[in-house]
A and B are shown apart, each in its own frame.
Chain A
Amino acid sequence: MSLATDAPVSPALAAYPGVEGRLFRAGGREDLAAYRAAGGYADVADLERLLDEVDEAGVRGRGGAAFPIATKIRTVRGGRGVPVAVANGEEGEPASVKDRWLLRTRPHLVLDGLRLASLMVGADEVHVYVSDPEAAASVTAGLAELRGAGVWDAEVTVTVVEPTYVAGEETAAVQAIDGGPALPTDKPPRPFEAGVRGRPTLVSNVETLAHLPLVQRLGSTGYRGLGTVASPGTFLLTLSGCAATGLYEVPFGVTLTELLTWLGEDPAQVDGVLMGGYFSGVLGRQVLDVPLEYDAVKALHSGLGCGAVGVLAAGTCPVTVSAAVMAYFARENAGQCGSCFNGTAAMSAVLDALRDSRAEAEDVQRLTDWSVRLRGRGACGTLDGATNVAAALLREFPDAVGAHLDGTCATCAAADEQPVPRVPFAVALPTAA
């Protein structure tokens, strides 16, 4: 069980039945020749038509915010100044590996998407922003392959930063590309208004970009052949916390019961999940039969986020998991906004005390108040993620919270309790030999 160890777990890789020819590709790194042989870097006859197709395909951002990419492209294109395009592959989320996998394994799918995005937005400056050294090497090699190949001659700058939780935030990407620290800045302005060197900037998650060549190839109708009406297509789901820990390409709308059953896991042995990576907090068993698509998960007061799902196997205490995630936020926040570094520390102290059955009812009341009042008080989303973690635990597992107040948590007292590591549900890709 991944939760029993502090070492990151290398995931399995697969596509859900019925998903073919999209993001997932078996084997090692796909080079330029292989990507072109599969139809990559196709000519664009009509950029406006392509943008309309992307709009009609309903592609939404895969970095966590789920914002429609066509709307973002149109907004940036209409901004003041010549636009800049940025592929954001800095994956600070501990429970997700999808962006690194894409960049390491399918660099040309991402670069092709970046090509299409930069053409549609009218960018004359293009960047790739990453932290994983192997992802950076893969992209750099991909750009070298492109040189002189006659398919895309834009100068693309690769910016590599140290991996941190906050470095993947879009304003951190802009600040780092501008030569500053990879730390978020306060809004306004947002990058679409004034990003790299003050120019309107399209910052897109690399998985989002990887969907654009699929729309070009499949057309909006073909793209919508999988997924749901409001969440069309497929997404990369990082599953952890169970024997089937892995990276899976699944169509939107699949349920966790279906996914776990396909993977040979017993859904009856699942008490809930940590949803959306560290951003959305825990959910109880009712999530198992809910379609995994943006609106249905949002209706549970949660979020699909970057598509990372940590399984709370039977014997895993949600209080202990939430305390570990909150402690991560208290350690890994940017240390910039007072409400965030104080708020995460305070909420972490209460959750640690609750985990150890040292907390009083007044402490839980303070946690409840903070989970509401601190929302929106940080420059980036870290504090909102922390308030989500607190609110979700209180909403989804009131009995476990009560048991910890009373010192009667049967899960924590049981001999087969799953130990929770310092960074729960952390996953990693194997490094090249």
Chain B
Amino acid sequence: MKIKLDRTKCDGFGFCAKYAPETFDLDEWGYVSLVGAGNVAPEHEDGVRRALLDCPVHAITELHPAGEVDAGR
């Protein structure tokens, strides 16, 4: 699984770091950056998928294997 994060959308809700702390790193104000380049290890996919679905501002997007983002972008 590969994801992208749009930090211009992040409002600091922090659900992502709660569900997938190994993938999402919060700064001291609660704003997120990715740990690494967005390649999610299989054992972390469930947490990342929950983060993706629960992010209130839809800042997380799954990338298709060819590198394209979801059609809803």
Residue ranges of A at the interface with B (Cβ–Cβ < 8 Å): 183-186, 188-189, 193, 334, 336-339, 342-343, 373-374, 376-379
**Which one of A193, A338, A342, A376 has the greatest number of beta carbons of chain B within 10 Å?**
A338
Q: Note all chain B residues with C-beta closer than 8 A to A189.
A: 67, 69
Q: Does B46 contact A (CB under 8 A)?
A: no
Sample of 22 A–B contacts (CB below 8 Å): A183-B8, A184-B8, A185-B6, A185-B8, A186-B4, A188-B4, A189-B67, A189-B69, A334-B8, A336-B8, A337-B7, A338-B7, A338-B11, A338-B12, A338-B27, A338-B31, A339-B29, A339-B31, A339-B33, A342-B27, A343-B29, A377-B27
Q: Note all chain A residues with C-beta closer than 8 A to B27.
A: 338-339, 342-343, 373-374, 377
Nearest B residue (CB) for A338: B31
Is the pair B67, A337 in contact by a Cβ cutoff of 8 Å?
A: no
Q: How far is the CA of A342 from the CA of B33 in the complex (A)?
A: 14
Q: Note all chain B residues with C-beta closer than 8 A to A185.
A: 6, 8
Q: How far is the CA of A373 from the CA of B11 in the complex (A)?
A: 19
Q: Note all chain B residues with C-beta closer than 8 A to A377.
A: 7, 27, 31, 33
Residues 51-69 of B, flagged 1 when their CB comes within 8 A of A and 0 if not, give: 0000000000001000101
> From residue 3 to 20 of chain B, which have CB atoms closer than 8 A to chain A?
4-8, 10-12
User: DSSP majority for the B interface?
Assistant: loop
Is the pair A186, B31 in contact by a Cβ cutoff of 8 Å?
A: no
Q: Note all chain A residues with C-beta closer than 8 A to B8.
A: 183-186, 334, 336-337, 379
Known: A193-B67, A343-B27, A377-B27. A338 touches B10 (CB 8 A): yes
Q: How far is the CA of A338 from the CA of B31 in the complex (A)?
A: 6
Q: How far is the CA of A310 from the CA of B38 in the complex (A)?
A: 38
Q: How far is the CA of A379 from the CA of B31 in the complex (A)?
A: 12
| Interface pairs A-B: 8 shortest CB-CB | A338-B31, A336-B8, A342-B29, A337-B7, A186-B6, A339-B31, A377-B33, A339-B27
Is the pair B4, A376 in contact by a Cβ cutoff of 8 Å?
A: no
Q: How far is the CA of A325 from the CA of B1 in the complex (A)?
A: 41
Q: Note all chain B residues with C-beta closer than 8 A to A376.
A: 33
Is the pair B12, A186 in contact by a Cβ cutoff of 8 Å?
A: no
